[in-house]
Structure 1
């Protein structure tokens, strides 16, 4: 396990059409640190956003894509996404409220 602080776990919110539609069900999508566990993600969301109570955390590890530039081939970095579901009585997360 990685020794991560709660402010290092969540990197940025993911704003796509699919993630915006799932906000009606109180599900929020974040890009998280690749070594973060589900418990660390839950703790980080509850500490960073006041009043948020997490019911479940679903994570997915995405491998890097193959990229070419001329004769050189490589891969982009790996990404980990987390979909966090809040309780029904939790307030909405302010980051997403203005979108």
Structure 2
């Protein structure tokens, strides 16, 4: 997976959970949880929909895998992550029925 190719697109850098440091390092999973589990789950679901939209509309097919990689590397699993995974698995389930 070539993260450098993925992170250079403005559409990816504009995602609300992506953070770029002053020295140019890009973290594809750096959300800001609120502490309200339901709000965080809703945010995660929204982030997943945005990720899939950007991947499809801007031709970044490895974006979802790269976000999931960085989510795993972050080592946290809270409401935002749960919402993201729930939305992605829901889309995968629907897609598998076709």
TM-score by length of 2: 0.27
**Greater share of strand residues, 1 or 2?**
1
**Greater share of helix residues, 1 or 2?**
2
TM-score by length of 1: 0.26
